[in-house]
Amino acid sequence: MADIFYTNAGCTLVALNPFKPIPQLYSPELMREYHAAPQPQKLRPHIFTVGEQAYRNVKSMTEPVNQSVVVSGESGAGKTWTSRCLMKFYAVVATSPTSSESHKIAERIEQRILNSNPVMEAFGNACTLRNNNSSRFGKFIQLQLNRAQQITGAAVQTYLLEKTRVACQASSERNFHIFYQICKGASADERLQWHLPEGAAFSWLPNPERILEEDSFEVTREAMLHLGIDTPTQNNIFKVLAGLLHLGDIQFADSEDEAQPCQLKSDAKCSVRTPASLLWLPEDPLLETLRIRTIRAGRQQQVFRKPCSRAECDTRRDCLAKLVYARLFDWLVSVINSSICADVDSWTTFIGLLDVYGFESFPDNSLEQLCINYANEKLQQHFVAHYLRAQQEEYAVEGLEWSFVNYRDNQTCLDLIEGSPISICSLINEECRLNRPSSAAQLQTRIESALSGSPCLGHNKLSREPSFIVVHYAGAVCYHTAGLVEKNKDPVPPELTRLLQQSQDPLLKVLFPTDPEEESQAKPSGQSRTPVLTVVSKFKASLEQLLQVLHSTTPHYIRCIKPNSQGQAQTFLREEVLSQLEACGLVETIHISAAGFPIRISHRNFVERYELLRRLHPRTSPGPQSPSPNEGCSEWSAHAEKAPLHPLLQDILHTLPALTRAAATPSDPAEVTPAPVRCGRTKVFMTDSTLELLEHGRAWVLEQCARCIQAGWRRHRHRKQERQRRAAVLIQAAIRSWLTRRHIQRLHMAATVIKRAWQKWRIRMAFLASEELDGVEEKYFFQVPRSPSSFPLPQAQMRLLEAITRLWPLGLVLANAAVGVRGFQRKLVVWACLQLPTSSPSSYTIQAAQEQDGVTSIRALPQGSIKFHCRKSPLRHADICPEPSSYSVTGFNQILLERHRLGHV
C-alpha cells in the first residue's frame, strides 16, 4: 500500500491511520507550502488543507467568522495525532510578528500552546485494548486570533474525565500515563522521597513492563516547566500521585463482627503509614474515614457511626483516589488556561479543535462507554444536520429541482438515549433519586419495558449478566447495568472531603480549600435537601454547551479511519474500512456532494464579488433579441430565464459560457460543457469547478484592469521622466555654459597678468641688455636701478626682477661674446658686467675659447685672472629663454669666479 493516507469525501477529509511514523508528511516546510499555495485544494489531500481553509475563512471574514474542526472516529483511529498536527500547523502559519519583541511573545505563546499537549496527554490519556494513547477525556481547544489573524492565546475545555481508571483498569489495559512515567523516570533521590523502589509492583499499576513512547517523564516535566509549573510544585504533584499508588495497596479483610470495622490484611505492603505521609494526612483519621461511615438522620441531624463492609471500604478508598485525581486534573487545566489564555480584548476570532473520545465497544461496557458513545452520536447528528439534511432541505426551500438522497439518521438512537419524557438517561437518573438500593436486574427490566418500542434497543439473550443493547450509528454495543446507578451518582462522602481539608500538603490545601459556605450547607434539613446532580446530567449539559459553540461556527470535518483493528502498518482490511465509512455517513456524503452544489453565495455577495465579469459581456440586461448564453445548455438557459434574477446577476451569469469556452482546450472537448450553476430565490448554487471558473475570470479581468492601470501609469511616468530629462539637459547646458564662461574669464585674467608681466620683463631685459652691451652712454647704466620704480609691483615680484636683473646681463654678455664681439668691445662688455675697475683696462688680459659654443672659461693672465666654469643646468626648461637666438647660450647655474689681485693692483 502506498503512503497515501488522506482523501476527500465531499466536505469531509478522510484520514487513514498509517500506524507508523512518517515525519516528512508533517514537516514545517510542508506546512508552509500548503499555507503559501494559491489554491491548497489543488494540492494532495492533507489535514493541512482543512486547516488552511479554516484559517483563510477567518481572514476573509466570511460569516460565520469563527471556525471549528471536528476530528472524529473510532478509538485508535488517530484523532489525538491529527489534533496535535493541526495545533502545530496553526502555531507555524498563524504567527508572523513584525518586530523582535512581538516575535519573542509569539514564540512563547506558541511554545506554551504546544506544551499543553504532552501535559494533558500524560494526565488524561491511557493505553487501552485498541489504542496505546487513547484520550480518556474530551477536549475543545480554542485557538484565539487577533485582528491580524495571529495566535494570541488559547483556551482548553475538557469533558468527562474517566477518573474511574485511577482505581479500576480492565484486563490488558493500563492506568494513566503519568503513573508509569514517575515510576520509570524518577531519579534515585526522588524514588527515595516518594517511596517508589525500583521494580516495585502496585495494585493500580498493571502491565508496567510494557514500554511505550508516551512514558517519557522528562518531556512532561519540561512541558510543565514551560507552562509555569515550577520544580517544587511538580515534585509536590508527583508526591501526591505516588501517595495514590500506595493508597491502592491498602487491602481490607472481611470482619467477623459487623459491629466492628474491617481490619487490614497482614501484608506489610498494606501499611497506611506510607500514603498518609505522602499525602500529609494523619494516619488514624485516614484509616477511620475509610472504615467507618458517618450517618446523619432525623430532624436533629443526629450522627451515627457505622462500620463499613469490605466492599464499602474498597469503594471509599477508590472514591478518595478518584476525588484527588479529578481535582488535580481540573487544577492542571486551570493552570494551563491561565498560562496560554489571552485577554478578552486581545482576540476577536477563534478556530476550535474538537478532539473527543472515539466510539468504543469493549467486552464490558459501563457508564463511561455509554457517555462516550452518546457524545459521538451527538456529533454525528451535528454532521447530519449540518450537511446531509440541511443542504437538501435548503435546495427545496430555494426552489431547486432536487431528488433527495436517503441517509442514515441517528435521531432515533438519540431519542432512545436522551429523549423526553422517557429515555435511558432519565431512567438511570430516576434510579439515583430513589432512596433504595439499586438492582442491576431491576434497572434492565425497567429499560426494556419502558423503551421496548424503540428500534435501536435490543436484548442480549446470551448474556448471563443484566444488560441491554443500543444500536448506535457505528454498531451495536452491549452495556451492563451493574454499577450504572452508583457510577451515575458518583457519591463523595463528606467525611472524605473534610479529611482532605485537614491535609498539610500545599497542593491539597489548594485543591480542597476550607469554605465556610460548604460547611453550612453540609448540614441541611431533611425537607430542604436539593437533588443530586448526576454524572449523566452534568455531561449532557456540557455537551449541549459544546454543540451551541459548534453551531455558531463554520464546521470542518475530519474522519479518522482505522485500516485494521490490530494496529498493524501496511495492512488494509476492506470490510472494516467500508463499515466505518458507512457508519459515519460518508457514503451518503459522497453521493450528495457529487449531485449537489457545495458552494452557495447570496445574491448580494455574488454581485459584489463578480460584477467585474460584466466587462466580458457589456450590456445592462439581456434583451429579447440577445442570443442564448449557451445553446448547448438548454437546462441552464431555461432555468436562467425562469429565475427572477436581478439584471446585474443576469449579466454575470451570461458570461459563464464565454468563460467555459475560454477555459476549454482543443485536446479536451469535454471542457466545453457548461458550468453547472443554479439560481435560487436568495442564493446562487454552484460546484467547485464553477467557482474556480468564476474566480479565474475575475482574476483575468482584474489582470486586464491592472495592465490598463499599469500602462497608464507607465505612460505618465515616461512623460514625466521625459520632461525631467529635458529640464535636466537645459539645466546642465546652462551650468556648463556658466562654468565655461567663468573658466574663460579666469584664463583671460591670467593671460593678461602673464602678458603684462612678460612685457614688463621683456622691456626691462631689453633695456638692461642695450645698456650693458652699448656701455657708451653712462647714463643708461646708472638709470637701471631706478627703472622698476616706474612699475609698481608687489615685493615678491620686485625680488624676482632684481634677481633676473643681476643674472641675465652676464648670460647675455657671455652668450654673445663668443662669436659676435671682438676686441675692445668685448672687453668693455666684460668689464661692464663684472664691474671691474676701469682705471687701467690694459692691465688685464682676457683669453676666451673661440671655437666652442658658449664660454667654458674666462681666465686672466697671471697678473690677474678671472675664470668662469659653466655647465648645463639639470632643471627643466632652464636652458630656454624668450625669443632664443641661434647663438645664445643660457642655463648657467654655477659660475666660479677667481680673481687674483696682484699686489700692485
* Residues tagged active-site: 75-76, 80, 131, 134-135, 358, 360
Distance in angstroms (rounded) separating the CA atoms of residues 719 and 708: 17
Measured CA angle at 331 (ends 327, 337), to 5 deg: 150
47: cell is 489535514
Distance in angstroms (rounded) separating the CA atoms of residues 356 and 160: 10
Distance in angstroms (rounded) separating the CA atoms of residues 469 and 478: 4
Name the β-bridge partners of 135. 125
Distance in angstroms (rounded) separating the CA atoms of residues 694 and 28: 32
- Could you write out the DSSP letters of every residue in 280-337? T--HHHHHHHHHEEEEEETTTTEEEEEE--HHHHHHHHHHHHHHHHHHHHHHHHHHHH
Half-sphere exposure of 872 (CA within 13 A, CB side): 6
422: cell is 422517557
Q: By the 8 A CB rule, do 43 and 49 touch? A: yes
User: Is residue 151 classed as helix, strand or coil in its secondary structure?
Assistant: strand
Q: 900: closest CA among 844, 829, 839, 857?
A: 844
743: cell is 573658466
DSSP tag of 386: I
Q: By the 8 A CB rule, do 534 and 489 touch? A: yes
Whether the link from the prior residue into 421 is cis, omega within 30° of 0, is yes
Distance in angstroms (rounded) separating the CA atoms of residues 193 and 240: 11
Distance in angstroms (rounded) separating the CA atoms of residues 277 and 273: 6
Name the β-bridge partners of 295. 304
All residues at 6 or more sequence positions from 498 whose CB lies less than 8 Å from its CB, including other chains: none
Name the β-bridge partners of 302. 297
685: cell is 448554487
Q: By the 8 A CB rule, do 116 and 124 touch? A: no
Q: 768: closest CA among 787, 754, 755?
A: 787
Contacts 24+ apart (CB under 8 A), 564-570: 565/76, 565/130, 567/19, 567/76, 567/130, 567/131, 567/132, 568/19, 569/18, 569/19, 569/20, 570/1, 570/20
Distance in angstroms (rounded) separating the CA atoms of residues 147 and 87: 19
Q: By the 8 A CB rule, do 399 and 23 touch? A: no
CA distances from 118 to 73, 83, 217, 225, 418 (A): 21, 12, 10, 12, 34
691: cell is 467557482
Q: Which residue has the cell 457589456?
A: 618
472: cell is 448506535
Q: Which residue has the cell 459581456?
A: 617
H-run or E-run covering 142: strand 138-145
